[in-house]
Amino acid sequence: MLNPLVFIKLSTNWLREKERILNNNKSFRFINTTFKGVGQILFCCSPLSGFLFLVAFAFSWWVIVPHCLIGSAVATLTAFIFRQKSVYIENGLFGYNGALLGLIWPFFWPLSYVSIPILILASGLSTFYAILLRNIISDSKVNLPITSIPFVVIFLLSISYAYVFGLLPKNSFELIHLNISTLDMTNVQERIFQSKEWFSLGNWLFNRAIIIGIFFTGILLYSKTSALFALVGGSLSLITVYLLMGQEGLNLNQLGLHGFTSVPIAIALGGFFIAFNIPCFLYSMLGTCLGILLWLLIAPILAPHGIPILTIAFNVTITLFILPLKLPYFATKFPRLFAVDLNRAVRPEETLREYKRHRSAALYWKNIK
């Protein structure tokens, strides 16, 4: 019987070969890049992962799918117009900000003759802003990822102008109910030791197993390491929401917003931008916990003003945890936390190979001295 991990590896190699063949055909290259932009939402540079994420979105709310495709396609096309490096474009590194805009757009903008043109404009602007940030913080000595900062800035500008000019009613964001100030340790302890509560949680997960399973499959087909950290990060998020709010706090939209902070943080710090090892795992879990804490602190502040938290907690956490590793003083103090150059951060398994080469070189020079 074929080992599941071997089967996944063979499937991944087959998919890569098919993707390479499709990329040689110019008519398919743009389609591949558009789907990669969707996959990059969770650091998966694969059109198949992007397609599976769209399928999961369709099970949740099918309207998200065309919006995501429009956002990713427009952002990618804008990068072509501004003649950015083809390797960045073809890996979906510009398309994912547009895809994120498309993901959140239907929740705020009812489909109309105004909403789609503004989405197209916002997606193009996200690429323009991403180009500026890349030149400042990514291609410089700092060498930090721009992550989803363009998405956050452009969306907040768009919704602010919409509120000012009356294109959207300014209502409080009712999906956010979590608040650390409401934490009751007595209720938390009761939920920990009551088997009935955990059974209810399991039943809640089972009812959404298809959507969660499709997302997980999309990540697993790209990277086993990323899939591991996605599982751990998502579990931390789920347990936090459950302990704070109980079964009544576990609605799909609520958990989606909360989990969309913890899962990307866990993947980004857990082998993608930092080479995978035991210190990296602990570092990633610390970052994930901080991201969850920031989400719980920031979300209730923004909610009354009709502003969602988006990926603000994610961007802050990634910057705080990667920046020290790019500075010589901290990098030498924590040699086992190795942040690779952004040009080499493509897949956690490749990041690990880069770390092993770096480690060997470091030991060599140490012995020479």
pLDDT beyond 90 at 301: no
pLDDT beyond 70 at 178: no
Q: Do 51 and 154 sit in the same domain of this protein?
A: yes
* pLDDT-based confidence at residue 176 (cuts at 50, 70, 90): very low
Give tens-digit pLDDT for 206-240: 777 888 899 999 999 899 999 999 999 988 887 77
What is the reported pLDDT for 232? 92
Q: Do 157 and 257 sit in the same domain of this protein?
A: no
What is the reported pLDDT for 365? 39
Q: Do 178 and 160 sit in the same domain of this protein?
A: no
Q: Distance (Å, rounded) from C-alpha 22 to C-alpha 321?
A: 37
pLDDT beyond 50 at 364: no
- The token duo for 115 is 């909403």
List phi, psi (to 5°) of 264.
-65, -35
Give tens-digit pLDDT for 138-160: 877 788 899 999 999 999 999 88
Q: Do 165 and 177 sit in the same domain of this protein?
A: no
Strands of 118-220, DSSP E? none
* pLDDT-based confidence at residue 135 (cuts at 50, 70, 90): confident
- The token duo for 48 is 């198949």
Decide: helix, strand or coil at residue 175.
coil
Q: Are 272 and 348 in contact (CB under 8 A)?
A: yes
Q: Which of the listed residues 110, 144, 170 is the one where a domain comes to its end?
A: 170
What is the reported pLDDT for 309? 84
DSSP class per residue in 90-126: HTTTTHHHHHHHHHHGGGTS-SSTTHHHHHHHHHHHH
Greater model confidence, 330 or 269: 269
Residue 116: exposure state from Cβ atoms within 10 A (0-12, 13-18, ≥19): middle
Q: Which of the listed residues 170, 191, 206 is the one where a domain comes to its end?
A: 170
Q: Considering the chain, what is the average pLDDT of its residues?
A: 80
Q: Distance (Å, rounded) from C-alpha 166 to C-alpha 169?
A: 7
Q: Distance (Å, rounded) from C-alpha 330 to C-alpha 9?
A: 36
b/e map 2-32, b = 16+ CB within 10 Å:
eeeeeeeeeebeebeeebeeeeeeeeeeeeb
Structural domain boundaries, residue 359: 171-369
Q: Distance (Å, rounded) from C-alpha 141 to C-alpha 163?
A: 39
Q: Which of the listed residues 152, 170, 188 is the one where a domain comes to its end?
A: 170
What is the reported pLDDT for 75? 95
In the numeric block, the tokens 């000012």 are attached to 164
What is the reported pLDDT for 369? 38
Q: Do 16 and 38 sit in the same domain of this protein?
A: yes
Q: Distance (Å, rounded) from C-alpha 131 to C-alpha 133?
A: 6
Q: What is the CATH number of the domain that holds 20?
A: 1.10.3430.10
Nearest to 175, CA basis, from 240, 117, 241, 125: 241
- The token duo for 299 is 């979300």
Q: Do 219 and 87 sit in the same domain of this protein?
A: no
Q: Do 125 and 255 sit in the same domain of this protein?
A: no
* Mean pLDDT calculated for residue range 344-364: 74
Query: How many folded domains does the chain comprise?
Result: 2
Give tens-digit pLDDT for 105-116: 998 888 888 889
* Mean pLDDT calculated for residue range 282-311: 85
* Mean pLDDT calculated for residue range 79-105: 90
pLDDT beyond 70 at 179: no
Q: Do 21 and 166 sit in the same domain of this protein?
A: yes
Q: Distance (Å, rounded) from C-alpha 257 to C-alpha 350?
A: 30
Greater model confidence, 304 or 337: 337
Q: Do 44 and 101 sit in the same domain of this protein?
A: yes
* pLDDT-based confidence at residue 168 (cuts at 50, 70, 90): confident
Q: Do 111 and 234 sit in the same domain of this protein?
A: no
Q: What is the pTM of this model?
A: 0.86
Q: Are 351 and 344 in contact (CB under 8 A)?
A: yes
Q: Do 202 and 316 sit in the same domain of this protein?
A: yes
Decide: helix, strand or coil at residue 339.
strand
Q: Do 164 and 225 sit in the same domain of this protein?
A: no
b/e map 241-267, b = 16+ CB within 10 Å:
bbbbbbeeebeeebbebbbbbbbbbbb
Of the listed ranges 5-9, 78-82, 121-125, 289-293, the least confidently predicted one is 5-9
Q: What percent of the chain has pLDDT over 70?
A: 75
Q: Are 356 and 276 in contact (CB under 8 A)?
A: no
- The token duo for 236 is 């931390």
What is the reported pLDDT for 161? 86
